[in-house]
Amino acid sequence: MDKSPDAFRTISEVAEELDLPQHVLRFWETRFTQIKPMKRGGGRRYYRPQDVELIKGIRTMLYDQGYTIKGVQKLLRENGNQFLVAIGNGDMAAVEAIAQRKQADAVPLTPAAQPRGADDEMLVGQPKVKPSRRFFGLGKSDEEGPVQADEGRLSRDNRALLQEALFDLLECKRLLDQVR
Protein backbone atom coordinates (compact mmCIF):
# COMPACT_ATOMS: atom_id res chain seq x y z
CA MET A 1 0.00 0.00 0.00
CA ASP A 2 1.39 3.40 -1.00
CA LYS A 3 1.68 6.23 1.48
CA SER A 4 -0.25 9.44 1.21
CA PRO A 5 1.71 12.33 -0.36
CA ASP A 6 1.39 14.13 3.00
CA ALA A 7 2.77 11.21 5.02
CA PHE A 8 6.15 11.38 6.72
CA ARG A 9 8.94 9.31 5.15
CA THR A 10 11.70 7.31 6.79
CA ILE A 11 15.31 7.92 5.81
CA SER A 12 15.35 4.71 3.79
CA GLU A 13 12.26 5.79 1.82
CA VAL A 14 13.75 9.22 1.08
CA ALA A 15 17.11 7.69 0.15
CA GLU A 16 15.42 5.27 -2.25
CA GLU A 17 13.13 7.92 -3.76
CA LEU A 18 15.99 10.36 -4.41
CA ASP A 19 18.62 7.74 -5.24
CA LEU A 20 20.93 8.86 -2.44
CA PRO A 21 22.77 6.87 0.22
CA GLN A 22 21.42 7.36 3.74
CA HIS A 23 24.75 8.63 5.02
CA VAL A 24 24.59 11.50 2.51
CA LEU A 25 21.20 12.55 3.90
CA ARG A 26 22.62 12.51 7.43
CA PHE A 27 25.64 14.53 6.27
CA TRP A 28 23.43 17.09 4.53
CA GLU A 29 21.50 17.57 7.79
CA THR A 30 24.76 18.85 9.30
CA ARG A 31 25.43 21.23 6.39
CA PHE A 32 21.92 22.50 5.69
CA THR A 33 20.11 23.64 8.82
CA GLN A 34 16.92 23.92 6.76
CA ILE A 35 16.66 20.10 6.67
CA LYS A 36 15.04 19.20 9.97
CA PRO A 37 13.58 15.71 10.08
CA MET A 38 11.52 14.81 13.09
CA LYS A 39 13.42 12.34 15.30
CA ARG A 40 11.61 9.74 17.31
CA GLY A 41 12.83 7.37 20.00
CA GLY A 42 16.09 5.70 19.13
CA GLY A 43 17.02 8.53 16.75
CA ARG A 44 14.80 7.29 13.90
CA ARG A 45 14.27 10.08 11.37
CA TYR A 46 10.95 11.00 9.77
CA TYR A 47 11.06 13.48 6.91
CA ARG A 48 8.15 15.82 6.25
CA PRO A 49 7.06 16.25 2.61
CA GLN A 50 8.58 19.76 2.55
CA ASP A 51 11.91 18.29 3.79
CA VAL A 52 11.87 15.80 0.91
CA GLU A 53 11.13 18.56 -1.61
CA LEU A 54 14.00 20.68 -0.26
CA ILE A 55 16.39 17.72 -0.37
CA LYS A 56 15.35 17.09 -3.97
CA GLY A 57 16.32 20.69 -4.82
CA ILE A 58 19.64 20.40 -2.97
CA ARG A 59 20.37 17.15 -4.80
CA THR A 60 19.63 18.80 -8.16
CA MET A 61 21.96 21.70 -7.47
CA LEU A 62 24.80 19.54 -6.13
CA TYR A 63 24.66 16.58 -8.51
CA ASP A 64 23.07 17.93 -11.68
CA GLN A 65 24.18 21.58 -11.68
CA GLY A 66 27.65 21.10 -10.15
CA TYR A 67 27.28 23.50 -7.23
CA THR A 68 29.36 23.13 -4.09
CA ILE A 69 27.78 22.82 -0.67
CA LYS A 70 28.80 26.42 0.06
CA GLY A 71 27.19 27.52 -3.19
CA VAL A 72 23.90 25.84 -2.31
CA GLN A 73 24.05 27.29 1.21
CA LYS A 74 24.45 30.73 -0.34
CA LEU A 75 21.48 30.12 -2.67
CA LEU A 76 19.37 29.13 0.33
CA ARG A 77 20.46 32.21 2.26
CA GLU A 78 19.77 34.57 -0.62
CA ASN A 79 16.64 33.02 -2.15
CA GLY A 80 15.05 30.87 0.54
CA ASN A 81 13.82 27.29 0.66
CA GLN A 82 11.07 27.78 -1.92
CA PHE A 83 13.67 28.59 -4.59
CA LEU A 84 15.37 25.20 -4.18
CA VAL A 85 12.04 23.39 -3.85
CA ALA A 86 10.99 24.91 -7.19
CA ILE A 87 14.28 23.86 -8.79
CA GLY A 88 13.91 20.32 -7.43
CA ASN A 89 10.38 20.10 -8.87
CA GLY A 90 11.49 21.56 -12.20
CA ASP A 91 9.07 24.49 -11.80
CA MET A 92 11.01 27.07 -13.81
CA ALA A 93 8.11 29.55 -13.69
CA ALA A 94 8.37 29.66 -9.88
CA VAL A 95 12.18 29.90 -10.07
CA GLU A 96 11.88 32.87 -12.45
CA ALA A 97 9.24 34.52 -10.26
CA ILE A 98 11.43 34.20 -7.15
CA ALA A 99 14.48 35.48 -9.05
CA GLN A 100 12.54 38.47 -10.44
CA ARG A 101 11.13 39.28 -7.00
CA LYS A 102 14.63 39.16 -5.53
CA GLN A 103 16.01 41.31 -8.34
CA ALA A 104 13.26 43.89 -7.84
CA ASP A 105 14.03 44.04 -4.11
CA ALA A 106 17.79 44.31 -4.64
CA VAL A 107 19.54 47.64 -4.48
CA PRO A 108 22.41 47.81 -6.99
CA LEU A 109 25.85 47.97 -5.39
CA THR A 110 28.78 49.92 -6.71
CA PRO A 111 31.71 47.76 -7.84
CA ALA A 112 33.67 48.76 -4.73
CA ALA A 113 30.80 47.60 -2.49
CA GLN A 114 30.47 44.18 -4.14
CA PRO A 115 31.40 41.34 -1.79
CA ARG A 116 34.68 39.72 -2.73
CA GLY A 117 34.97 36.06 -3.59
CA ALA A 118 31.22 35.48 -3.88
CA ASP A 119 31.40 33.71 -7.21
CA ASP A 120 34.23 31.34 -6.27
CA GLU A 121 31.83 29.50 -3.93
CA MET A 122 29.33 28.59 -6.61
CA LEU A 123 30.51 26.12 -9.26
CA VAL A 124 32.99 23.29 -8.93
CA GLY A 125 35.54 23.16 -11.73
CA GLN A 126 35.32 26.82 -12.73
CA PRO A 127 38.54 28.34 -11.33
CA LYS A 128 38.97 32.10 -11.70
CA VAL A 129 42.62 31.70 -12.67
CA LYS A 130 44.44 29.26 -14.89
CA PRO A 131 45.06 25.88 -13.23
CA SER A 132 48.83 26.40 -13.25
CA ARG A 133 48.47 29.60 -11.20
CA ARG A 134 45.87 27.98 -8.97
CA PHE A 135 47.95 24.91 -8.19
CA PHE A 136 51.26 26.66 -7.71
CA GLY A 137 50.02 29.89 -6.15
CA LEU A 138 51.88 32.20 -8.54
CA GLY A 139 51.07 35.86 -8.12
CA LYS A 140 49.46 35.44 -4.71
CA SER A 141 50.36 36.62 -1.26
CA ASP A 142 52.11 34.28 1.18
CA GLU A 143 48.76 33.74 2.94
CA GLU A 144 47.06 32.42 -0.22
CA GLY A 145 49.96 30.62 -1.87
CA PRO A 146 51.41 27.19 -1.21
CA VAL A 147 52.14 26.15 2.35
CA GLN A 148 55.10 24.04 3.42
CA ALA A 149 54.25 20.54 4.65
CA ASP A 150 55.55 21.16 8.18
CA GLU A 151 53.57 24.38 8.80
CA GLY A 152 50.51 22.56 10.18
CA ARG A 153 47.94 24.48 8.13
CA LEU A 154 46.42 24.42 4.65
CA SER A 155 46.22 27.35 2.28
CA ARG A 156 42.82 28.44 1.00
CA ASP A 157 43.60 26.93 -2.42
CA ASN A 158 44.68 23.59 -0.95
CA ARG A 159 41.53 23.41 1.18
CA ALA A 160 39.38 24.12 -1.89
CA LEU A 161 41.20 21.46 -3.92
CA LEU A 162 40.84 18.89 -1.14
CA GLN A 163 37.14 19.68 -0.81
CA GLU A 164 36.62 19.26 -4.55
CA ALA A 165 38.51 15.94 -4.45
CA LEU A 166 36.35 14.77 -1.55
CA PHE A 167 33.16 15.64 -3.43
CA ASP A 168 34.47 13.85 -6.52
CA LEU A 169 35.26 10.76 -4.45
CA LEU A 170 31.81 10.82 -2.80
CA GLU A 171 30.19 11.05 -6.23
CA CYS A 172 32.32 8.12 -7.47
CA LYS A 173 31.26 6.11 -4.44
CA ARG A 174 27.61 6.94 -5.10
CA LEU A 175 27.96 5.80 -8.71
CA LEU A 176 29.69 2.59 -7.66
CA ASP A 177 26.96 1.91 -5.09
CA GLN A 178 24.38 2.24 -7.86
CA VAL A 179 26.17 -0.35 -9.98
CA ARG A 180 26.32 -2.92 -7.18
**pLDDT tens digit sequence for 38-70:** 988 888 889 999 999 999 999 989 998 889 999
Q: How deeply is 59 buried, as exposed, middle or buried, from its count of CB atoms within 10 A (0-12, 13-18, 19+)? A: buried
Give the separation between CA 176 and CA 180, rounded to whole angstroms: 6
- Whether the CB-CB separation of 37 and 45 falls below 8 Å is answered with yes
Distance from chain centroid for Cα 13: 21
pLDDT tens, 72-115? 999 898 888 888 888 888 888 888 888 778 777 765 555 555 55
The mean pLDDT of the chain is 76
Q: Is 95 helix (H, G, I), strand (E, B) or coil?
A: helix
Of the pLDDT bands very low, low, confident and very high (cuts 50, 70, 90), residue 134 is: very low
* 133: pLDDT strictly greater than 80: no
Better-predicted residue by pLDDT, 91 or 157: 91
Q: Tell me what pLDDT residue 137 has.
A: 38
